[in-house]
Structure 1
Amino acid sequence: MSDGGTAAVRGGFSRGGALALVAAGFALFLAMVWLIAAGEEFGGDSNNGQAHAAAKGLNGYAGLVRLLEAEGFDVSSSRSPAGLETEGLLVLTPPPATDAAALGELLRKRENIGPTLVILPKWSALRPPQILPREVREKFKPGWVILGAAQELEWPSALPAPYSFTHGLETLEADEEPGWEGLGLSGDLPTRTIPYAADTPLHGALMTDAAGHWLATRVLGKEGSEFYENAHWTTFVVEPDLVNNYGLADRQRAAAALALVRDAAYEGDITEVTFDLTLNGFGASENLLTLAFRPPFLAATLCLIMALLIIGWRAFQRFGPPAAGAGPAIAFGKQRLIANGAGLILRARRFGLLGVPYAALSARRIAERLGLARPDAAMIDDALARRLPGEEPFSRRAARLESARKPADILSAAQALDDLTTKL
């Protein structure tokens, strides 16, 4: 019984166990912050068959991302509005149902931040239908699509000046070759359905098809204007088959894609390229936890972490002697016996019976600690005078306990004897 009582008095965790719990909790907190910051990148299916940098279908641009990485560019994909503030080259891949006013506002902000490359959509893409034979469907990899009809867009003409242009769509005859040329390169397009930008004096052609239609343009603005003199470059790729996964199957079109990116990045002077995914529905909202780990809030967060570490270290240090005694706890049977006896005295209100026995018990304890043969009050006083000269004599404390009759006086006198025992 005494062993069980001793285990009950000890703490539930050792110092090492408590430290392990705190460390594990802090690690889980950091993991939660990372998961919130990762957003849809953690377990999200961004390879959904649409035209953006994470898509591996014919109309996607995952191949362009890998090509630029292989050429030494510092490439990243951004799901946060903060990525739109990059000073490097920002690649936008707006969907067919784009808000022209919102895109125009974004392009205006980019005039004073950095260059922008806008790749227009072309194809309406579908996932492989379930009615296909099983052996055919099994050949399709995740993200693969079937290309439908090409789309003629209306929102480019609704963009603010000088970005606006008329978007056209031409289908060549069977005997016409879908050729292209520009930036010192030339080749053939993969299909005879070709989107183009109508001539506008505020743009300049970078690539054209065999008929002279503009396939890629740079926004110049009105000559002599503030935009013309100081704005960062904005490039439109109207024919996405020059840069998408479908187009990169050809070596010449892959070279054209690299040439367009290098031209938009000031002839390769800029090596940082950010592909935006927020326009394609993969934006992650800002939150307080992720902001806490970004400048300028990072300094305050580090200070808070240091303060927590200091508080935790102090919590593991002892500020004084243990409040509980070091000896074994009272066994359960003795506890019950003492509780029953105390209850009987309480019901009978015979508090005066407690003083003399408790004083005698305290005398034996103190005599043992002082190494005395007998618990004699005079001998205890002499020994205390040598050991603790400034303390009140034992005999005076014992006499006060023996003469006490009220519960408060008895408790106070007994505490005085216990304090003396503790000091010894």
Structure 2
Amino acid sequence: MTGTASARRSASPFSRAGVLGIVLVGFAAFIALLYFISAGDTGDRGNTGAAHASATGLNGYAGLVRLLENEQFDVTLSRTPSGLETTDLLILTPPLYSDPEDIAQILEARDYLGPTMVILPKWSASGPPNNLPAETADKFKDGWVALGSANTLQWTSELPAPFALTQKIETLEDDEVPQWSGLDQSGEVPTKTIAYAEQSALHDPLITDQSGHILALSVLGEEDSEYYNNAHWTVFVVEPDLVNNYGLSRQENAAAAIALVQQAGYEGDYSAVTFDLTLNGFGGAENLLTLAFRPPFLAATLCLILAMLSIAWRAFLRFGPAAIGGPEIAFGKKQLVSNGAGLIVRARRFGLLAAPYADLSARRLASRLGLIKHDAEAIDAALAVRLPEEEPYSLRADRLREARSSTEILRAAQALRELEGKLAK
């Protein structure tokens, strides 16, 4: 029997090591799922041509992120709205069709939080077209884009003072070289399509082109105003080709990008920089794993982990087919009687046993005394002859029928059983 049970146990298609590996991989996948959902990173969004800090296309700013990291800046890419409340230098990269009210709300909230740099968009961009020749399509890497037209922004003029500015686009002649200067730097813009801001008394030009157009500016506000005296600095980069991946292909533009970040961060006082990604659609809720390990959820999380470990350990030790035993309910008269008795014991209906047992005892006594009838009087008369010193059957049977507790019923039934045994001798 032991050999059969062992053979049946070994028939399991999974070993303990295999089950442990499945559990660990599944647990790791579940934790990763929680993280990526909470972080807002649910998979490949496709190459939409958006300009943001993670974009590696010409109009993206992944190069600026790497440049600042190489310059020993502490760079963070924020995917949560709480990142807008940082006291570090915050760099915003709003999309082409932003809501001016949303941008205004962020900028006004930043007045007393920390410095801000806003890199305005210019290019319409998209992924490589589907009809490209195979040789050309193979040269495109993930994230690369094809630049379209330059766009004049309307929403920048709808910002509240002192942030409002009028942005314009100008395309230079073929024989003109798009040069810029400012912040003790100079260089060339990589394209002849220039985005610039009109002059304003509320703004201080930082970088201009050869025509005096403002390519980057610092917001001053009205002299002696609350903003002028107390608000943190806000810098607008109107010409994004100074700092995007396209522009950073030139060394002088990389130097200008560093100079702009240092200028926005109070001339280098800020070494921590946060790039916001929520305006570009990468916003996510607070990380669920981080939230689970904070009070008041920490206690529940620890209890859940302990419960999971206990269940996993028990399941690991128990894993595999159980040994096959006999049927839960055996066949035969003996088992049927045992099951019936067990039901009566479970239901605590002992009083139902007294009268039937007395009648059954009467039949057995009558049979042993050789009587045709098994009434109490005939049994008592026959017992008086065979066992004159014994208590009559009728008294014992009455005592059994009148018993109420299980102890009284048992004692009375034993008295009848003893009488049967004496007749058997």
TM-score (norm 2): 0.70
Tell me how far apart the structure 2 counterparts of residues 4 and 269 of structure 1 sit (CA, whole Å).
79
- My pick for the range that moved more, 153-162 or 338-347, is 338-347
1:17-416, aligned counterparts within 5 Å?
30-40=31-41, 42-45=42-45, 48-286=48-286, 289=288, 292-293=291-292, 298-308=294-304, 331-332=326-327, 335-337=330-332, 338-342=334-338, 352=357, 409=406
Taking a change above 3 Å as real, the CA distance of residues 306 and 208 of structure 1, as seen in their structure-2 partners, is same
Tell me how far apart the structure 1 counterparts of residues 152 and 126 of structure 2 sit (CA, whole Å).
17
- My pick for the range that moved more, 143-152 or 238-247, is 143-152
Could you tell me which residue of structure 2 aligns to residue 363 of structure 1? Answer: none
Superposed CA deviations along residues 83-122 of structure 1, whole A, max 9, x for unmatched, are: 1111101111111111111111110001111111100111
Tell me how far apart the structure 2 counterparts of residues 214 and 272 of structure 1 sit (CA, whole Å).
27
Tell me how far apart the structure 2 counterparts of residues 411 and 218 of structure 1 sit (CA, whole Å).
103
8 A contact 1:74–1:273 mirrored in 2: yes
Superposed CA deviations along residues 17-67 of structure 1, whole A, max 9, x for unmatched, are: 9xx89x969877655532332321x53337542111111110111111111
SS across alignment from 2:282: coil
Taking a change above 3 Å as real, the CA distance of residues 150 and 408 of structure 1, as seen in their structure-2 partners, is farther
Tell me how far apart the structure 1 counterparts of residues 277 and 47 of structure 2 sit (CA, whole Å).
12
Deviation at 1:332?
3.9
Tell me how far apart the structure 2 counterparts of residues 158 and 201 of structure 1 sit (CA, whole Å).
17
The share of aligned pairs that are identical, in percent, is: 48
Superposed CA deviations along residues 114-158 of structure 1, whole A, max 9, x for unmatched, are: 111100111111322122211111111112111122111111111
Deviation at 1:407?
9.5
The amino acid across from 1:339 in the alignment is: Q
The amino acid across from 1:216 in the alignment is: A
Deviation at 1:352?
2.6
Higher gyration radius (CA): 2
Tell me how far apart the structure 2 counterparts of residues 29 and 192 of structure 1 sit (CA, whole Å).
50
Tell me how far apart the structure 2 counterparts of residues 273 and 129 of structure 1 sit (CA, whole Å).
35
Superposed CA deviations along residues 253-309 of structure 1, whole A, max 9, x for unmatched, are: 01101111111111222121111111111212458x457347xxx122223334556
8 A contact 1:36–1:290 mirrored in 2: no
The amino acid across from 1:292 in the alignment is: L
8 A contact 1:48–1:55 mirrored in 2: no
The amino acid across from 2:269 in the alignment is: D
Deviation at 1:229?
0.9
SS across alignment from 1:340: helix
SS across alignment from 2:49: coil
Tell me how far apart the structure 2 counterparts of residues 247 and 259 of structure 1 sit (CA, whole Å).
14
SS across alignment from 2:262: helix
Q: How many residues align?
A: 344
SS across alignment from 1:245: coil
Deviation at 1:341?
2.8
8 A contact 1:110–1:232 mirrored in 2: yes
- My pick for the range that moved more, 207-216 or 333-342, is 333-342
Where in structure 1 are there 5+ consecutive unaligned residues? 6-15, 317-328, 357-398, 415-424
8 A contact 2:243–2:254 mirrored in 1: yes
Superposed CA deviations along residues 319-352 of structure 1, whole A, max 9, x for unmatched, are: xxxxxxxxxx995498333432346889997753
Taking a change above 3 Å as real, the CA distance of residues 194 and 409 of structure 1, as seen in their structure-2 partners, is same
8 A contact 1:242–1:253 mirrored in 2: yes
Tell me how far apart the structure 2 counterparts of residues 412 and 26 of structure 1 sit (CA, whole Å).
60
The amino acid across from 1:90 in the alignment is: L
Taking a change above 3 Å as real, the CA distance of residues 4 and 113 of structure 1, as seen in their structure-2 partners, is farther
Deviation at 1:410?
7.2
8 A contact 2:400–2:408 mirrored in 1: no
Tell me how far apart the structure 2 counterparts of residues 61 and 354 of structure 1 sit (CA, whole Å).
100
8 A contact 1:49–1:56 mirrored in 2: no
The amino acid across from 2:167 in the alignment is: H
8 A contact 1:127–1:146 mirrored in 2: yes
8 A contact 1:58–1:244 mirrored in 2: yes
8 A contact 2:47–2:127 mirrored in 1: no
Taking a change above 3 Å as real, the CA distance of residues 355 and 36 of structure 1, as seen in their structure-2 partners, is farther
SS across alignment from 2:248: helix
8 A contact 1:52–1:277 mirrored in 2: yes
Tell me how far apart the structure 2 counterparts of residues 77 and 134 of structure 1 sit (CA, whole Å).
35
The amino acid across from 1:142 in the alignment is: D
Tell me how far apart the structure 1 counterparts of residues 360 and 269 of structure 2 sit (CA, whole Å).
95
Taking a change above 3 Å as real, the CA distance of residues 136 and 87 of structure 1, as seen in their structure-2 partners, is same
Taking a change above 3 Å as real, the CA distance of residues 115 and 293 of structure 1, as seen in their structure-2 partners, is farther
Tell me how far apart the structure 2 counterparts of residues 3 and 351 of structure 1 sit (CA, whole Å).
47
Taking a change above 3 Å as real, the CA distance of residues 102 and 3 of structure 1, as seen in their structure-2 partners, is same
Where in structure 2 are there 5+ consecutive unaligned residues? 6-15, 313-323, 345-351, 362-395, 412-425
8 A contact 1:152–1:169 mirrored in 2: yes
